[in-house]
Homo-oligomer: A and B are copies of this chain.
Amino acid sequence: MRTELPQAIIVLTGDELLDGRTRDTNGAFLAARLAADGVQVARLTVVPDDMGLLVAALREALAFEPAVVIISGGLGTTHDDLTAAAIAAATGRRLEEHPEALAMVARRTRDLAERRHALFAEMFAVTRREALLPKGARPVPPAGVAPGIALRHEGTLVYALPGVPSELRAMWPWVRGELAAAGVLGDAVTRVVRIFGVGELQVGTVVDGVPRTLIDVAINVGGGEVAVRIRHACSGAAQAEADALVEALVAAVPVYSTDGRTVDEIVAEGLRARGATVAVAESCTGGLVGGRFTDLRGSSDYFLGGVIAYANEAKVALLGVDGDVLARHGAVSAEVAAAMAEGARAATGATFALSTTGVAGPDGGTPEKPVGLVYLGCAGPDGCRTVRERFPGDRASVREWAVTRALHLLRETLEAGEGPGETLAGADDGGAPSAEGGDA
């Protein structure tokens, strides 16, 4: 498939991306948008703010003759903002002050100076260099102060956008409009099947067992989930191959989504559909389940809030967990998970409440309650169900898996519909998702 789709190369520049301080979001954003539009990202290169290394990366990218090169970063006003000059060097052009770009920079600088109660002339002396573009380039209207750069070099469309994620995102539609007008965007179909409860090993065996010639298949793992991404051209034969693979997956492994919807979206729709609300009672996740619910816009329709009960005293005071139960079973137990969920449900009046309590590590593990052990509870109109899980990896990994498991616990509860809830006697049902995602 890789040769049929139009190709793109992404170049990110910024020392901060190469010293571990900043995790890239722009590359992921651009790649996702391009993939959704049927453009294959053949490479993403990250280079420091170093003229020689940046020019070399741009030359290599252009030598590949892709349909599109997109550069992010290095459009600011400081000494390590080199992108315009690097594009000029890599394409054999010189830098010129572009009148339209200059007007954009002046207008944006005036706004900024006003907000900051600063002198326009002083600021403009610094920002003016952002109007320098390689000869023949056009400015991309800025979201901040710096305009982007648009340039056609031989057969390749070259765009440079700021490294600030909010600016890059705001300026992307303009670039996408140009790509669409230039006929670069493809018509590939991407279908995503999501699986929860087994690892990559089992999913890979199914995928490898289905013959395919017209579809491109990738397997991704993360947070305890496995996603199978199937991409193909818009033809009936390719569609049939994709259908066969989806069918095989549904038959063999616990598929929970065949249309790409995430567990977050499914849970949100399920709650909205029944006019239900949800609350949380979080110990080891410390608020991250609530954070995940409220990532979605409009989550106030169904998410009420809840309690972060990190300390045992908070479990007692804010959730009404019985001190005796805590003493007898310990904070990390099915009994406390259930009491936390019931407590959050009672305190907020929510239809459902999710709880987490576990040992995130790296300290605090014991032979009986090792690092990675997490109990989760889901209380609802039909009772409370708890599950016991043992998650792999470090503190961040255990917490990420716990958040994902909490969402799936609610999904399962919503899907079980009006059936009777399991009682605590039936709790600890294991059902642990595989701890061996990835390079098993």
Q: Which residue of B lies closest to A3 (CB)?
A: B52
Known: A53-B42, A208-B79, A287-B291. A16 touches B313 (CB 8 A): no
A220 and B280 contact, CB distance less than 8 A: no
CA distance A287 to B291 in the complex (A): 5
> How many Å from the CB of A52 to the closest CB on chain B?
8
Interface contact B317-A49, CB-CB below 8 Å? no
Q: Say whether, besides A282-B290, A287-B287, A313 and B307 are in contact (CB < 8 Å).
A: no
| Complex Cα gap A346–B265 (Å) | 36
Given contacts A21-B32, A204-B78, A311-B304, contact A220 B165 (CB under 8 A): no
Q: Is A166 an interface position by the 8 A CB rule?
A: yes
**In A123-177, which residues have CB < 8 Å from any B CB?**
123, 126-127, 144-146, 162-167, 169
Cβ–Cβ contact B60 & A35, under 8 A: no
Size category of the A interface is 35 or more
Tell me whether A222 is interfacial, beta carbon within 8 Å.
yes
Give which listed residue, B144, B305, B360, contacts A318 with CB less than 8 A: B305
Q: Is the CB of A146 within 8 A of B24?
A: no
**Residue in A163, A229, A287 with the greatest tally of chain B CB atoms within 10 Å:** A287
Asked if B46 contacts A19 (CB within 8 A), the reply is: no
Interface stretch, picked from A69-77, A85-93, A95-103, A242-250, is A69-77
CA distance A220 to B18 in the complex (A): 11
How many whole Å from A431's CB to the nearest CB in chain B? Answer: 13
Q: Which residues of B contact A234 (CB under 8 A)?
A: none
Q: Are B20 and A144 in contact (CB under 8 A)?
A: no
Contact B297 A291 (CB under 8 A): no
* Interface positions of A from 274 to 320, Cβ below 8 Å from B: 277, 279-280, 282-291, 293-295, 297-300, 303-311, 313-315, 317-318
A208: which B residues are within 8 A, CB to CB? 78-79
- Chain B residues positioned under 8 Å from A127 (CB to CB): 201, 440
Whether, in the assembled complex, A214 has its beta carbon less than 8 Å from a beta carbon of chain B, the answer is: no
Contact of B42 with A44 in the complex, beta carbons under 8 Å: no
**Contacts A28-B20, A43-B57; A291 near B294 (Cβ below 8 A):** no
Complex contact A32–B16 (CB within 8 A): no
Interface-located stretch among A322-330, A373-381, A388-396 = A388-396
B162 & A229 in contact (Cβ 8 Å cutoff) = no
Nearest to A32 among chain B residues (CB) is: B20
Chain B contacts for A303, CB-based, 8 A = 286, 310-311
Contact B304 A307 (CB under 8 A): no
Q: Contact between B304 and A300 (Cβ–Cβ < 8 Å)?
A: no
**Is the pair B48, A35 in contact by a Cβ cutoff of 8 Å?**
no
**In the bound complex, do residue B48 and residue A46 qualify as a contact, i.e. CB atoms below 8 Å apart?**
no
A311 touches B305 (CB 8 A): yes
Residue of B nearest to A203 (CB): B78
Does chain B have a CB within 8 A of A347? yes
Annotate A413-440 by CB proximity to B: 1 below 8 A, 0 otherwise: 0000000000000000000001111111
Instruction: List residues of chain B with CB within 8 A of the CB of A258.
Output: none
B47 touches A43 (CB 8 A): yes
| B24 near A297: Cβ-Cβ < 8 Å | no
The verdict on A28 contacting B24 (CB below 8 Å), with A289-B287, A438-B144 known, is: yes
Contact pick for A291, options B222, B291, B318, CB 8 Å: B291
Known: A21-B227, A27-B46. 14 other contacts (CB 8 A): A23-B28, A43-B57, A76-B439, A78-B200, A78-B207, A79-B207, A287-B291, A290-B290, A294-B310, A297-B363, A303-B311, A304-B310, A304-B311, A317-B348
CA of A300 to CA of B357 in the docked complex: distance in angstroms? 13
